[in-house]
Chain A
Amino acid sequence: MTTIFEDSRPGRGGIDLAPATAGPEAYLPEDLIRERLPLPEVSEGQAVRHFVNLSRLNFAIDVGFYPLGSCTMKYNPKVNEAMARLPGFAAAHPLEPEELVQGALELMWELQEDLKEITGMAAVSLQPAAGAQGELTGILMIKKYHRMAGDLARTEVLVPDSAHGTNPATAAMAGFKVVELPSDARGGVDIGALRERLSNRTAALMLTNPSTLGIFDENIVEIARLTHEAGGLLYYDGANLNAILGKARPGDMGFDVVHVNLHKTFSTPHGGGGPGSGPVGVHERLVAHLPGPIVERTAEGFRLASPGSASIGRLRSFYGNFGMFVRAYTYIRALGGDGLTEAAEDAVLNANYLRSLIRDAYPIPFDRLAKHEFVVGFPKDVKEETGVRTLDLAKRLLDYGVHSPTVYFPLIVDEALMIEPTETESKEVLDAYAKALLEILEEARRDPGILKAAPHTTPVGRLDEARAARQPELRVREG
């Protein structure tokens, strides 16, 4: 593919807009006016063809199976898109007087209420723009909570060794020291190690439950009790909430703050990397620290309530990724409480079923019931005999017309493959994926070169990532 810059020819025009009554020199001092603007000059037809052809180089959930662990790549119902594009939402300016945007505020209020019920928390702010920003919101609230209690010694955040990278990165952004917590032999939090590491320096424990191993930590009540007894608070990373909708709630497990990924659990599409949306829910004790504004229902209608002085303040401009709220709200209304619960059931069914199909061929580090995802390793004998490893398997899967799982994560499993099928995949898709995983192992034994050189059928072959980092070429060169 050419770049849009290579398609450019001087003087080629884009959209046709009538000229202004006078040029900028009529209004601005000459020395402030720009001379050159070297952006590409292409026709509309060229631009459309360029981007349509680029889109065809992408794999996507609408194209095929995309079982990235921890990413919850479920099918995104099309009605969500249609609703988000209604002019009554898409053309609403965020600073309009509240009486003009009652429909938008009502939708936000309803979504806040829905998320409170689903997570079991006392209050919700929709403002955070993505999961990681939800984490930052939560940890900053915890910081504010301890500060306002005069508890300045709480400088540490405990993070399990199986955690998403965003957890320790978030704790650091909030000014905390990260203390790593080892997993026990069953893949859960090591209670002994937790006891040792909890102290009057502990600000919080960040936890994902089910964990990145796809395991529900059955000691959660004990973990919460110990953390609270030490004076720390519990943060719930909602990346894996899809597994427990209608089955268990972070609030009932003892968590003080939770973020929800609307772009995972509530089916807003991931956009090739975003936008997401990461609302946070909190226990009663943190309500005053929530970022705002938050929508309130009053006798006169819905209004945006500004937070008080105990709030951590704003996390982003305006109210959050509203377009994602519309999609998530549509999804929640369409499925209903019963449908969300069934989604969790089928997500867990699909994960356990797929695991059952490959369990004889791939090592399972923690052999327990899976929730929405599961982790396997790469067969040691194949690796030793052939030199083939997880990366090669992931690339070979692309030749089968499916996406690879998340690989090399969580870090505590050697050569990890983290597989999350989601509830929207059919049995035959899962059967075919298992078949591919088993066939590829046979290929590896028979002809490892096929795997090491994979992928073979994609728009480009395996790309030289080391070169990209060594000789960064991050933009077009001028001229």
Chain B
Amino acid sequence: MRFSPHTPAERGDMLRRIGVPSIDGLFADIPPNVRLRRPLRLPDGISEMEVAKTVTALAAKNRTTADLVSFLGAGAYDRFIPAAVDEILHRSDFYTAYTPYQPEVSQGTLQVIWEFQSMMALLFEMDVAQASLYDGATAAAEGCMMAVGHTGRRRLVVLRSVDPETRGVVATYGFGHDLEIAVVPLSGSTTDIEVVREALSIETAALLVQQPNFLGSLEDLAALTEAAHSAGALIVVSHDPVAAAVLKPPGAYGADIVVAEGQQLGIPLSFGGPYLGILTARQDLVRRMPGRIAGATVDGTGRRGYVLTLQTREQHIRRERATSNICTNQALLALAATVYLSVVGPHGLRRVEERSLAGAHTLSDALAALPGVSRITEGAFCHEFAVRLPRPAKDVNRALLADGILGGYPLVDAYPEFGEGAWLLAVTEKRTEDEIATLVAKVGEAL
């Protein structure tokens, strides 16, 4: 395939105008000792029809949630995406635009960002939000770095109940700043507030928690917030955005920074990305926020419009003193979340979570009633929970595949203390009572 519009005659005309004899002359400034003296060792180009066939054949090798009944979560969820979301995302006026550097011809993108910021602030009951980050894990890391900048302290306290991949990313960003990171162990499936208090000190910049936590349990946000603030630290809450529809929002507990993975808000699983990092904060932290922020203003005649604002925080202005190096973000995914929330509305979002909640509890009770199965997740939970099977979870998953079921996440690698039978299950609004009953029956057979 070629996407160049030039004919050979046009190339000749253009070279004459430039005053070089050949295309090769345009590369005469590359010294011979670094010129590639052979063709790239890649296959030659093929037609659109052939490339579509090749790539479609690769896609066909995968078995996915499109044909399996999925109970797999652990940070990415098989949720229903209304057709209107995709329809809007397919508009190339949105997806082929660049970052809105010229606001007068980017009002679509800018207003969407502003509406996204508004919705995220409302969802978590926080003051302000920014335009998006790469994913939930990097949002958590950036939130922690904001706290480091704000407090001038160099120690983070992270609960072990936080998503292990998120903890990994925080550790990587922490390596950059040479931060010290303390991990608070689990107590059952949640965290002992007294152990948290002991870990916090006057050197702690931030306490990072996840709600519901990775094992599905609800942490005591009131106590954790109080504990962080008592130590003069900020609390960074990584919150599930759909569970937020039924849970008292983190802002109501006094959270300083709330971050989230937005994949559940209208974004396909897509083997792990692109997803959506959400970051919201208290008003007084706004100038420490990373990345783009849209703000409302007016033009010369008083018409309302939107621009990227507070840019003196950003790398293209502040360079080495910027709050972060982020430039490209996840704008199109922020659009997806904004359209999703507009189309489902507050009642729809609440119903999505209510159905998930009810399904998860039905499944949890039924599994716990099977011989040899016990609960790992203690106390209240939302759409995800863990149980311990009397057989390795990976073996049970293999057996379930024969019936077209994608089982839960085996916890053994991330939390070996729960053993090989530990199994994390997610129930979304897509799962029917029949599918849940089938899973229970098949698990019973597999044990």
Q: Mark A337-362, 1 if CB is under 8 A from B, else 0.
A: 11111110110111011001100000
Q: Mark B348-391, 1 if CB is under 8 A from A, else 0.
A: 11111111011101100000000000000000101000000000
Name the segment of B34-42, B186-194, B195-203, B228-236 touching the other chain.
B34-42
Indicate which residue in B95, B102, B247 contacts A271 across the interface (CB closer than 8 Å): B95
Q: Which residues of B contact A246 (CB under 8 A)?
A: 36, 39-40
Q: Contacts A3-B111, A117-B40 known; A336 to B3 CB distance under 8 Å?
A: no
Q: Contacts A173-B324, A221-B33, A342-B2 known; A272 to B100 CB distance under 8 Å?
A: yes
Chain B's nearest CB lies how many Å from the CB of A219? 8
- A465 and B26 CA atoms in complex are apart in Å by 41
A94 within 8 A of B: yes
Which chain A residues in 172-194 approach chain B with CB under 8 Å?
Answer: 172-175, 178
- The answer to whether B248 and A31 touch across the interface, beta carbons within 8 angstroms, is yes
Indicate which residue in B72, B297, B339, B341 contacts A468 across the interface (CB closer than 8 Å): B297
- The answer to whether B292 and A321 touch across the interface, beta carbons within 8 angstroms, is no
- The answer to whether A73 and B273 touch across the interface, beta carbons within 8 angstroms, is no
Chain B's nearest CB lies how many Å from the CB of A459? 5
- The answer to whether A464 and B97 touch across the interface, beta carbons within 8 angstroms, is no
Q: How large is the interface on B (under 10, 10 to 19, 20 to 34, 35 or more residues)?
A: 35 or more
B78 within 8 A of A: yes
- The answer to whether A269 and B345 touch across the interface, beta carbons within 8 angstroms, is no
Which chain A residues in 449-478 approach chain B with CB under 8 Å?
Answer: 453, 455, 458-465, 467-469, 472-476, 478
Q: Which residues of A contact B322 (CB under 8 A)?
A: 165, 169, 172
- A165 and B320 CA atoms in complex are apart in Å by 8
Chain B's nearest CB lies how many Å from the CB of A440? 15
B151 within 8 A of A: no
- A305 and B434 CA atoms in complex are apart in Å by 37
A23 closest partner in B (C-beta)? B354
Q: Which residues of B contact A87 (CB under 8 A)?
A: 59, 64, 66-67
- The answer to whether B346 and A38 touch across the interface, beta carbons within 8 angstroms, is yes
Q: Which residues of B contact A326 (CB under 8 A)?
A: 55
- The answer to whether B329 and A47 touch across the interface, beta carbons within 8 angstroms, is no
- The answer to whether A320 and B269 touch across the interface, beta carbons within 8 angstroms, is no
Identify which of A27, A320, A356 gathers the most chain B CB atoms within 10 Å of its CB: A27
Q: Which residues of B contact A74 (CB under 8 A)?
A: 3
- The answer to whether A91 and B66 touch across the interface, beta carbons within 8 angstroms, is yes
Indicate which residue in A40, A103, A169 contacts B59 across the interface (CB closer than 8 Å): A103
- The answer to whether B129 and A15 touch across the interface, beta carbons within 8 angstroms, is no
- The answer to whether B70 and A93 touch across the interface, beta carbons within 8 angstroms, is yes
Q: Which residues of B contact A135 (CB under 8 A)?
A: 325
Identify which of A31, A245, A323 gathers the most chain B CB atoms within 10 Å of its CB: A323
- The answer to whether A88 and B176 touch across the interface, beta carbons within 8 angstroms, is no
Name the segment of B298-306, B415-423, B438-446 touching the other chain.
B298-306
- The answer to whether A333 and B91 touch across the interface, beta carbons within 8 angstroms, is no
A326 closest partner in B (C-beta)? B55
Indicate which residue in B33, B42, B93, B134 contacts A336 across the interface (CB closer than 8 Å): B42
Q: Which residues of B contact A334 (CB under 8 A)?
A: 1, 45-48, 51
A394 within 8 A of B: yes
Q: Which residues of A contact B111 (CB under 8 A)?
A: 1, 3, 54, 57
B122 within 8 A of A: yes
B262 within 8 A of A: no
Identify which of A50, A89, A170, A316 gathers the most chain B CB atoms within 10 Å of its CB: A316
Q: Which residues of A contact B332 (CB under 8 A)?
A: 271-275
Q: Contacts A4-B342, A246-B36, A460-B299 known; A398 to B115 CB distance under 8 Å?
A: no
Chain B's nearest CB lies how many Å from the CB of A20? 4
Indicate which residue in A83, A276, A461 contacts B301 across the interface (CB closer than 8 Å): A461
B84 within 8 A of A: yes
Identify which of A101, A348, A476 gathers the most chain B CB atoms within 10 Å of its CB: A476
Which chain B residues in 169-196 approach chain A with CB under 8 Å?
Answer: 169, 171-173, 175-178
Q: Mark A273-295, 1 if CB is under 8 A from B, else 0.
A: 11111000000000000010000
- The answer to whether A93 and B171 touch across the interface, beta carbons within 8 angstroms, is no
- A307 and B192 CA atoms in complex are apart in Å by 32
- A276 and B332 CA atoms in complex are apart in Å by 10
- The answer to whether B270 and A340 touch across the interface, beta carbons within 8 angstroms, is no
- A22 and B5 CA atoms in complex are apart in Å by 60
Q: Which residues of B contact A174 (CB under 8 A)?
A: 176
- The answer to whether A58 and B303 touch across the interface, beta carbons within 8 angstroms, is no
Chain B's nearest CB lies how many Å from the CB of A36? 9
B152 within 8 A of A: no
- The answer to whether B51 and A330 touch across the interface, beta carbons within 8 angstroms, is yes
Q: Mark A81-107, 1 if CB is under 8 A from B, else 0.
A: 111101111111111110011111011
- The answer to whether B104 and A165 touch across the interface, beta carbons within 8 angstroms, is no
Closest 6 CB pairs of A and B: A318-B272, A88-B59, A103-B61, A271-B332, A273-B331, A336-B45
User: 6 A-B pairs, CB-CB below 8 angstroms?
Assistant: A3-B114, A15-B348, A55-B94, A93-B70, A96-B406, A475-B127
Seed contacts A20-B357, A93-B406, A312-B172; 13 additional CB < 8 Å A-B pairs: A20-B358, A39-B341, A79-B48, A81-B90, A89-B270, A91-B66, A117-B41, A129-B135, A249-B34, A272-B97, A337-B43, A350-B14, A353-B18
